[in-house]
């Protein structure tokens, strides 16, 4: 795909970044703490440095206004790539300094009240959206692991983004209450399983995948990748990983629902000038476009023919998407499979006046160690620090990119 390769060159850093302001020291160390220091966090508010994220992963930036703080921004994340204990969030007024210790959004294991004692595991790929003054969270997997059967995706609804029924609780509280205590999340239901119509899973060789309930030799979708949930034109839209090949070639499939309970069959998105056989889309963070609300926008880590970038695309209908536009180039894990980028976009562009904030998770743990970013012969202690970086994009420039992409559809 020569067109896409030119896209990496002409729409990469040399084209986009001169008009983007970069903020690299973005958080205070006083409240966004290392995951192994939660019991003894430093509270010296005079110290400012880049946050040390360690294993934190799958970040989402989303406005989470309150009566006291109408401009509040939440940064959601899970504490580990695999076998995470929780999804938490920190908050900020200016988008640079996050001054709260992580509040609990969702523990890994929870019963959601006494009626159903079965623990539901939503945290691996949890996605959130905030339409019409209500929060919705969706997550889960369909597989057989660690002696338990996971039966697909669960959707929850809440008046707030945090887990506790009263005031916010800290992730520290899980040390004494493993399931997080009473929750404000309600109407929790199993909405999609791995045998949902249209769902494609070609990795049949994996022993922990469940058989497709429709019969045949196919396997049920595991939902192994990060999810994305949004509300657009009176419907919920859910974007999930599609595995169309036995190895690699990660792509995107989408479904939608008017009520959050009955979902349309999955279908693969159509991404202009891109074929899944030539690359990997690790996840697809879609949202209502902050500069043109009649359209959608997606950020995604893209590996194409051994090159990596953080890309952007837009859509009018959630299914047909514009040609990927590379916002930032980055390395891939060439010392491993070569199909994952070492940086991830934080899900969610945030508009503030004439500026749109783009957050980037640099040096993702578990990936950066297997890239050229590691000096040859370096020890594990030399792994580049994982951090969050914010880019300020003029809203008018993002609108130009959107209009250019939509015009080509």
Quickly state the pLDDT bin for 181 (edges 50, 70, 90). Answer: confident
Query: Is the confidence at residue 147, as pLDDT, over 90?
Result: no
Rg (Cα) of the chain, in Å, rounded?
Answer: 20
69-98 tens-digit pLDDT: 899 999 999 999 888 999 999 999 989 888
Could you tell me if 257 and 239 are in contact, meaning their C-beta atoms sit under 8 angstroms apart? no
How many whole angstroms separate alpha carbon 314 and alpha carbon 323? 8
202/177: higher pLDDT: 202
**String of b and e for 223-238 (b: at least 16 CB within 10 Å)?**
bbbbbbbbbbeeebbb
When pLDDT is cut at 50, 70 and 90, the band that residue 338 belongs to is: confident
| Contact by Cβ (8 Å): 196, 212 | no
Question: Could you identify the residue written with the tokens 């019991």?
Answer: 39
User: Does pLDDT of 30 surpass 80?
Assistant: no
Percent of the chain with pLDDT over 70: 80
> Which of the residue ranges 32-36, 48-52, 155-159, 274-278 would you say has the lowest mean pLDDT?
32-36
> How is residue 379 annotated by DSSP?
-
Tell me what pLDDT residue 1 has. 28
Q: What is the pTM of this model?
A: 0.87
CA distance 67 to 107: 26
More confident residue, 62 or 1: 62
pLDDT of 366 above 90: no
314 vs 208, residue with greater confidence = 314
**Helix/strand/coil (H/E/C) assignment for every residue in the chain:** CHHHHHHHHHCCHHHHHHHCEEECCCCECCCCCCHHHHHHCCCCCCCECCCCCCCCEEEEEEECCCCCCCCCEEEEEECCCCCCCEEEEEEECCCCCECCCCEEEEECCCCCCCCCCCCCCCHHHCEEECCCCCEEEEEEEEEEECCEEEEEEEEEEECCCCCECCCCCEHHHHHCCCCCCCECCEEEEEEECCCCCCCCECCCCCCCCCECCCCCCCECCCCCCCCEEEEECCEEEEEEEEECCCCCCCEEEEEEECCCCCCCCCEECEECCCCHHHEEECCCEEEECCCCCCCEEEEEEEEECCEEEEEEEEECCCCEECCCEEEEEECECCCCCCCCECCEECECCEEECCEEEEEEEECCCCCHHHCCCCCCCCCHHHCCCCEEEEEEEEHHHHHHHHHHHHHCC
Task: For 16-26, write each residue's pLDDT tens digit.
Answer: 333 444 444 33
Helix (H, G, I), strand (E, B) or coil at 204: coil
Mean pLDDT of the chain: 82
The span from the CA of 310 to the CA of 12, in Å, is 9
pLDDT over 70 at 352, yes or no: yes
Query: pLDDT for 194-243, tens place per residue?
Result: 999 999 999 988 988 998 876 655 789 999 999 999 999 999 999 999 99
Six token digits for residue 278: 């030539």
Strand 73-78 to 86-92 pairing: antiparallel
**Residue percentage of the chain with pLDDT more than 90:** 60
Whether residue 287 contacts residue 310, with contact meaning beta carbons closer than 8 Å, is answered with no
Which of the two residues, 49 and 405, has the higher pLDDT score?
Answer: 405
pLDDT band at residue 13 under the 50/70/90 scheme: very low
Closest CA to 346 of 62, 43, 26, 54: 62
């Amino acid at each position: 795909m020569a067109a896409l390769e030119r896209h990496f060159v002409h729409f990469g850093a040399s084209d986009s970044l001169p008009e983007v302001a970069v903020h690299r020291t973005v958080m205070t160390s006083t409240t966004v703490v290392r995951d192994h220091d939660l019991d003894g966090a430093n509270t010296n508010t005079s110290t400012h440095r880049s946050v040390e994220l360690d294993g934190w992963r799958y970040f989402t930036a989303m406005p989470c206004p309150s009566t006291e703080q109408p401009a509040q921004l939440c940064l959601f994340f899970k504490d580990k790539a695999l076998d995470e204990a929780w999804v938490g969030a920190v908050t900020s007024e200016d988008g640079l300094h996050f001054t709260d210790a992580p509040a609990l959004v969702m523990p890994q294991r929870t019963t959601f009240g006494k009626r159903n004692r079965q623990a539901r595991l939503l945290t691996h790929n949890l996605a959130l959206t905030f339409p019409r003054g209500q929060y919705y969270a969706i997550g889960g997997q369909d597989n057989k692991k660690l002696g338990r059967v996971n039966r697909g995706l669960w959707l929850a609804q809440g008046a707030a983004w945090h887990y506790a029924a009263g005031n916010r609780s800290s992730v520290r509280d899980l040390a004494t209450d493993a399931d997080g205590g009473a929750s404000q999340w309600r109407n929790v239901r199993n909405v999609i399983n791995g045998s949902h119509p249209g769902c494609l899973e070609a990795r049949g060789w994996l022993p922990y995948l469940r058989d497709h309930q429709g019969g045949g030799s196919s396997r049920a979708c595991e939902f192994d990748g990060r999810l994305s949930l949004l509300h657009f034109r009176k419907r919920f839209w859910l974007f999930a990983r599609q595995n169309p090949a036995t190895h690699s070639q990660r792509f995107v499939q989408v479904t939608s629902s008017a009520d959050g309970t009955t979902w349309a069959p999955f279908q693969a998105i159509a991404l202009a000038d891109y074929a899944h056989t030539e690359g990997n889309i690790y996840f697809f963070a879609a949202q209502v476009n902050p500069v043109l609300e009649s359209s959608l926008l997606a950020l995604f880590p893209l590996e194409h023919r051994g090159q990596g970038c953080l890309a952007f695309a837009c859509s009018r209908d959630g299914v047909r998407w514009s040609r990927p536009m590379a916002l930032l180039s980055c390395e891939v894990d060439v010392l491993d499979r070569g199909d994952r980028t070492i940086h991830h976009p934080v899900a969610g562009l945030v508009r503030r006046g004439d500026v749109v904030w783009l957050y980037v998770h640099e040096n993702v743990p578990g990936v950066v160690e297997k890239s050229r970013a590691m000096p040859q012969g370096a020890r594990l202690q030399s792994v580049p620090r994982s951090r969050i970086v914010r880019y300020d994009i003029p809203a008018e420039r993002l609108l130009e990119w959107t209009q250019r992409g939509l015009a080509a559809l």
